[in-house]
Amino acid sequence: MAGIDWARLAAPEARRLRELGFDEGVSVEVLHRASLGNGPIACRIGRMTVALRRAVAGAVHVALPAGAE
C-alpha cells in the first residue's frame, strides 16, 4: 500500500482502518469489486478479508510492487 489519505476519512473510518491493519507499506490484494457502480470492494490484508465502501477505498492509495506487471 502506497499510503492512505487520512484527512479524507472521518475519524471513525480512519480508526477502523488502523484497527484492521491498514497502513503504508502493508500488502493489500483486491479480491472483488461489486458489479454495481457504488458497491463495496473486497480486499485481503494479511489473512483477513475486508469489504470497504468505495468512498473509504478511494482514500487508500496502492502501487504495484517492483517488478510486477
Of 58, 55, 59, 60, the closest CA to residue 45 belongs to 60
Query: How many structural domains does the chain have?
Result: 1
For the chain, the C-alpha Rg in angstroms (whole number) is 12
Q: How far apart are CA 50 and CA 42, in angstroms?
A: 6
This prediction's pTM: 0.76
Per-residue pLDDT, 64: 79
Residue 68 forms part of a structural domain: no
Residue 20 forms part of a structural domain: yes
Task: Please count the CA atoms within 13 angstroms of the CA of 10 that sit on its side-chain side.
Answer: 5
From first to last of its 69 residues, the chain has per-residue pLDDT tens of 789 999 999 999 999 999 999 988 888 889 999 887 788 999 999 899 999 999 899 999 888 777 776
Residue 7 forms part of a structural domain: yes
- Containing structural domain, residue 54: 3-61
